Amino acid sequence: MGRTITLAQHLSSEGLKTRYQNSSDRVESRRWHLLWLVSQRWYLLDAAESVGMSYSYARKVVYAYNKAGSEAIRNGRQGRQMTSRALLSVTQQEELDRALRNPLRMVGFGMDRK
């Protein structure tokens, strides 16, 4: 069996459920859902699995909520522009482009194909 965990009384079980149902942010909604399930006396492992979280992440969510209340559940990334960066350097990208333009060559084993 899993271990039960207690929540600080920042919000009632009904308050947690309302936050879960009314949240427009997916990350926050999952966190509220987890907390609501825990408030319903679900084992943390089962609640985490139910909402698609790892057990360790779920523990962090509960710990943060117990320590800081509702503010801890906010999605810190919400509204921020996420920038992407290339995984390959410019040189690596050029090398890959050249390799893709040239016909396949089986190097080694004496098997060069043209």
- Quick one: tokens of 66? 């117990």
Condensed to tens digits (0 to 9), the pLDDT of residues 64-95 reads 999 999 999 998 876 666 567 778 889 999 98
Closest CA to 36 of 57, 8, 12: 12
Closest CA to 69 of 26, 15, 25: 15
Separation CA 94–CA 89 (nearest Å): 9
DSSP 3-state percent helix, strand, coil across the chain (nearest 5): 55, 0, 45
Higher pLDDT, 1 or 20: 20
Separation CA 106–CA 2 (nearest Å): 55
Condensed to tens digits (0 to 9), the pLDDT of residues 6-62 reads 899 999 999 999 999 999 999 999 999 999 999 999 999 999 999 999 999 999 999
| Cα-to-chain-centroid distance, residue 35 | 16
